[in-house]
Structure 1
Amino acid sequence: MSFTTTVYFVFLLIGLVFYYLIPKNYRWTVLLVMSYIYYLSYRLKAVVFILFTTITVYLLGIMLERIQNGADAYLAQNKQVLSREEKKSYKNKIKHKKRIYLVIALLLNFGMLAAIKYSSFAISGANYILRAVGTHKQFSLFTIVAPIGISFFTFQAMSYIIDIYQGKYACEKNFFKFALFVSFFPQIMQGPIGRYNRLAPTLFEGNSYSLKNIQFGIQRIGWGIFKKLIMADRAGVFVNAAFADSNQFHGMIRIIGLLMYSVQLYMDFSGGIDIVIGSAQMFGVRMDENFRQPYFSKSIGEFWRRWHITLGTWMKDYIFYPFSLSKWSNKAAKWGKKHLGDHLGKMLPICFANLLIFFIVGVWHGSEARYIVYGLYNGVIIALSNLLSPVYKKGFKVFHINSESRIWKAFQILRTFILINIGWVFDVSVSGMHSAITTLKMFIVNLDFAQVNAQTFAAIGLETRDFVIIGIGCIVVLIVSIIKEMGVNVREALALKPLPVRWAVYYAFFAAIIILSYVTDNSGFMYAAF
């Protein structure tokens, strides 16, 4: 039940009718039923995995809270009896016990995720090592079909159990409400990765009917469909052709293919998120934004704070801060300050934490070596930027560069866009690392301008009008992005316009979607596989 099909919109309409007809206290049950119908529409057996995560995390969350509540009650009753050392010893014992339950939750769920997504990669690696040492014994390969959105619902559930462990809020006692939090249907396929304390209230409270929510939700969905069907799928035809065979097309076609991939990936992913957030808003459910004009970023670090925001904040809260503030990091910082100077010493733990995060981001994207290289490529650039920041400041003074000037900011945006596109090479090279390296070499030694002609573009499968449509679409998205970058809420601003102006815009987008949509045999969303 893809977001761009008629079936999905009929499903959404029926769900809205039921949601607003029944009493408020029970409206969340409609969302739960819809979520499981939606999930089951893809693959019946896949429900086992989401149920496993839901049940294990729900039970372990309750156990963590019971342990803490019991400990608090015991300390309160024996406040006058226990010495300070006894209290400290007891608290450490409770913390250790809670940590065991947390580790069980993490191992069970991340273990399931790893087994499903990375078992073939691990077995292939083991077989390669066995062949290298001269052993003929080989392990048999097997593949587990990954259920849609397993990374998203696993990360969301793990954020909940970590927060319960840290005592940030009380655990959810109602199993079915917790099941809704894990499986809420719009976000199940590609996020955003929600946090329980922000998402749960708006899921469970039974939202009142609001015409504004319905209107704004439809507008957001329409904007997502515009980006997906008019631009992403059309650009994807060029990308698939340009990178399918590493020997067929050379440097300039690959460069154009990379630019098309930037269009495809952003329009596909952000368009899908628009549909997700718009669908949720129609039910009165508020979800976290996942994009904030990422191609306006002035550095790789800023790009990742604007792109897939909920994944970035997940990594920051649950990996970066714990790692960079750990005892090991403190020791590394002290050693670095002593032997390398204050700046390098201070940056050392941060750099290691960033490299760890982007290694995980690479693994999260896939089990191939090119994804790990892609992650580390971003991590190394960010680490070097942190380490060399004093050098940059000195350079500004020496060359009299105004770091606040528009020209310098424009240069930073262009530089970041180029670096991001170089990183996309590893992401888009479906044939693996060899194909990625071949593409990078082409940029230097074999640009081959001769391939850039009408015959090549015709062979790829796009007509001149398709390139014009993509170009105009990019201009429209750019204009909207500039307006949003200026702090303007586009939907709110449009709602204040005279009625004829509003409906002219609505009809223009509706007509564009009907007339210009580019439907392919494989028009699913790219991040659904995660």
Structure 2
Amino acid sequence: MSYQTVSFLLFSLAVLVVYYICPKRLQKYVLLIGSIIFYCLAGTQYLPYLLTTLVVSFLSGLWMGKIYQEADGRLAAAKDMPEKKAIRERAKKHAKIVLNLSMLVPIALLVVCKYSSFLIKNANAVSRLVGLDKQFEIVKFALPVGISFYTFMALSYMLDIYWKRYHYEKDIINYATYLTFFPHVVQGPIDRFNKFNDQIKDGVRFDPYYIQSGVMLIIWGFFKKLVIADRLGFFVDTIYGNFKDYHGVILILATVAYSIQIYCDFSGCIDIVSGVAELFGIKLAENFNHPYFSRTMLEFWRRWHISLQEWFKDYVYFPVSMSGFVKGVKKSAKKKGHKKAGELFASCFPIFVVWVVTGLWHGSSWKYVAWGMFHAFLLISSKIFEDTNAKLTKWFKINTESWSFALFQMARTFMLCCVGRVFFRANRLADSVGIFRNIFNAGFGLRYLGSAQLVSYGLNLENIFVVVMAIFVLLIGDILQEKYEVRRKLITENSFILRWILILLGVFIVLVFGIYGPGYDAGSFIYQEF
């Protein structure tokens, strides 16, 4: 049951009605049952993976919590500081053993299901390279729906309990509701347990504000997905599917179109699921904050897929930064008189690790590794040349607060994103190399922009006009939301009648201009594949 279907909306409505009819103490049970049903509709064969991750991570948190609880009791009876230190160290050691053993289970499930084929293929390639005859049989596993997302949520819970960021959960219903909640289980956002649980543990009171806000967000998400993303998808698929036949500007145009498509597709999905969650009075983690208004790549990644970037920051970047290896290199460099180089390594190496892992998280392909390393290169370069850039800006007396400079920075950031999108969208790494080559080979290909040629790329002139106007509406809407938070003001500062007129107008626009209907199969969300 895909998020952009009528059946999903009807399912959500049915769960919503039961949810608000029931007493508040029973609401979490309604959410849990509804979420399990939703997941089973995606495929009952995937349920054991989800339940295994759920049970292991819950019991792990329970076990570590008990270890710390018992240690607190002994600390109260301890007589001196050495004894207290020994108690804390023993508890930490035992909790770490539990954590490591527990994390192995969901990580192993993720690796086997998502990366086994990739690992075996590369092992066979290395075997051939060194002249060995041994070849391993490639085994393909079906990728369980949402495994990349719920695995990260489970890992974050276990690590947070280990680091004592909040108290362990004793009620498995609360934890199971968090991990299986149907709006975020398939493609995020990657919520944190404590923030989610605070909203559902005591039940939710019906609030018209959340209903109207949720409906507006759902409509805006459908507008992005059905009016823009799926329409651009025809054009992008045509060009990238036959990239060898195209050169120059048409490949650039397809890459720009894909950058807009993936934003509208992914953020559209997040708007839909966040809107559905708001109907239940639940705020999911923010995942997008108008990323194409970013002035630097660092800012872009603070605005794009926010929940994933924060996950990597908390659970990969900081641990690597504080690791013995990084501290050792930094200390060694300082002793040899290379203090600045050591500090630079300590800040850049974790970035490199994060982005290699980020690339692999998106898929088991070298193209994703290349995409991750490209962004690592950009972020590390900006770190290395940060002082030089500041000096040059001052030397040329550039007004960094002017609108023209801000516009230049946004355009530059968008262009760099587009370069990375070539790796991301190409079917394989070799194809991305071919696309870059064709962009600069055989002239710039302006002949491909004639009206007769454009209509052969998957869109007729009417659809081109609609998508251009829709992108303009999206741009204006994002600007207004960025500056004035118009969605909140539309609800709080306008009459009930006007609010629902705007909602019905949005529904009308999606129904009239959306890509769907007889014979059309709405494209699945891009991030659903991850």
TM over 0.5: yes
- After superposition, residues 164-175 of structure 1 pair within 5 angstroms as 164-175=161-172
Q: Is the 8 A contact 2:175 2:193 kept in 1?
A: no
- Is residue 426 of structure 1 aligned with residue 420 of structure 2? no
- After superposition, residues 15-414 of structure 1 pair within 5 angstroms as 15-77=15-77, 79-80=78-79, 83-337=80-334, 343-414=340-411
Deviates further, 336-345 or 18-27: 336-345
Shift of the 120–62 alpha-carbon distance from structure 1 to 2, 3 Å rule, reads same
SS class of match (1:168) = coil
Q: Which string of whole-angstrom CA distances, capped at 9 and with x for unpartnered residues, describes residues 48-97 of structure 1?
A: 110010010011111101111111112222x22xx433432332222111
Q: Is the 8 A contact 2:515 2:522 kept in 1?
A: no
CA distance in 2, matches of 1:512, 1:284: 26
Shift of 1:459: 2.4
Q: Is the 8 A contact 1:480 1:490 kept in 2?
A: no
Deviates further, 364-373 or 135-144: 135-144
Q: Is the 8 A contact 1:344 1:387 kept in 2?
A: no
CA distance in 2, matches of 1:213, 1:24: 16
Q: Which string of whole-angstrom CA distances, capped at 9 and with x for unpartnered residues, describes residues 416-447 of structure 1?
A: 000000000000001x1111011112222343
Q: Is the 8 A contact 1:224 1:270 kept in 2?
A: yes
- Amino acid aligned to 2:364: S
Q: Is the 8 A contact 1:242 1:460 kept in 2?
A: yes
CA distance in 1, matches of 2:431, 2:197: 44
Report what 1:443 is aligned to: 439
Q: Which string of whole-angstrom CA distances, capped at 9 and with x for unpartnered residues, describes residues 367-387 of structure 1?
A: 111100100110111011011
CA distance in 1, matches of 2:471, 2:202: 39
CA distance in 2, matches of 1:310, 1:242: 32
Q: Which string of whole-angstrom CA distances, capped at 9 and with x for unpartnered residues, describes residues 307-329 of structure 1?
A: 00000111111111121123332
CA distance in 2, matches of 1:350, 1:5: 45
CA distance in 1, matches of 2:355, 2:434: 23
Shift of 1:487: 4.2
Report what 2:454 is aligned to: 457
Shift of 1:457: 2.5
Q: Which string of whole-angstrom CA distances, capped at 9 and with x for unpartnered residues, describes residues 457-485 of structure 1?
A: 32222111111111111111111111122
Q: Which string of whole-angstrom CA distances, capped at 9 and with x for unpartnered residues, describes residues 176-198 of structure 1?
A: 22111111000011111001110
Shift of 1:495: 4.3
- Amino acid aligned to 1:313: E
Shift of 1:337: 5.0
- Amino acid aligned to 2:318: Y
**TM-score by structure 1 length?**
0.96
- Amino acid aligned to 1:437: V
The RMSD of aligned alpha carbons is 1.7
CA distance in 1, matches of 2:472, 2:333: 48
Q: Is the 8 A contact 2:32 2:181 kept in 1?
A: yes
CA distance in 2, matches of 1:490, 1:23: 30
Deviates further, 410-419 or 207-216: 207-216
Shift of 1:108: 1.2
Q: Is the 8 A contact 2:222 2:268 kept in 1?
A: yes
Shift of 1:504: 4.4
CA distance in 1, matches of 2:109, 2:354: 20
Report what 2:477 is aligned to: 480
Q: Is the 8 A contact 1:238 1:460 kept in 2?
A: yes
- Amino acid aligned to 1:34: G
CA distance in 1, matches of 2:522, 2:118: 25
- Amino acid aligned to 2:218: I
Q: Is the 8 A contact 2:244 2:434 kept in 1?
A: no
**TM-score by structure 2 length?**
0.96
Q: Is the 8 A contact 1:336 1:348 kept in 2?
A: no
Q: Which string of whole-angstrom CA distances, capped at 9 and with x for unpartnered residues, describes residues 380-411 of structure 1?
A: 11011011111111111222212222222111
SS class of match (2:523) = coil
- Amino acid aligned to 1:155: F
Shift of 1:137: 2.5
Shift of the 284–482 alpha-carbon distance from structure 1 to 2, 3 Å rule, reads same
Shift of the 20–479 alpha-carbon distance from structure 1 to 2, 3 Å rule, reads same
- Amino acid aligned to 1:308: H
Deviates further, 504-513 or 435-444: 504-513
Shift of 1:499: 5.7
CA distance in 1, matches of 2:90, 2:452: 73
Instruction: Give identity over the alignment, percent.
Output: 34
Report what 1:469 is aligned to: 466
Shift of 1:335: 4.1
Shift of 1:501: 4.7
Shift of the 458–308 alpha-carbon distance from structure 1 to 2, 3 Å rule, reads same
Shift of the 412–340 alpha-carbon distance from structure 1 to 2, 3 Å rule, reads farther
Shift of 1:338: 5.9
Shift of 1:489: 4.0
Deviates further, 361-370 or 507-516: 507-516
Q: Which string of whole-angstrom CA distances, capped at 9 and with x for unpartnered residues, describes residues 237-280 of structure 1?
A: 11111111231222222111111101110001000000111101
Q: Which string of whole-angstrom CA distances, capped at 9 and with x for unpartnered residues, describes residues 30-49 of structure 1?
A: 00011011101111110011
- Amino acid aligned to 2:250: I
Shift of 1:358: 0.6
SS class of match (2:243) = coil
Q: Is the 8 A contact 2:215 2:503 kept in 1?
A: no
Q: Is the 8 A contact 2:244 2:438 kept in 1?
A: no
Report what 2:526 is aligned to: 526
CA distance in 2, matches of 1:499, 1:371: 47
CA distance in 2, matches of 1:4, 1:132: 46
Q: Is the 8 A contact 1:495 1:502 kept in 2?
A: no
Shift of the 401–68 alpha-carbon distance from structure 1 to 2, 3 Å rule, reads same
CA distance in 1, matches of 2:476, 2:333: 46
CA distance in 1, matches of 2:110, 2:76: 41
Matched positions, count: 526
Shift of 1:159: 0.6
Q: What runs of 5+ residues in structure 1 fail to find an aligned partner?
A: none
- Amino acid aligned to 1:445: N
Report what 1:512 is aligned to: 509
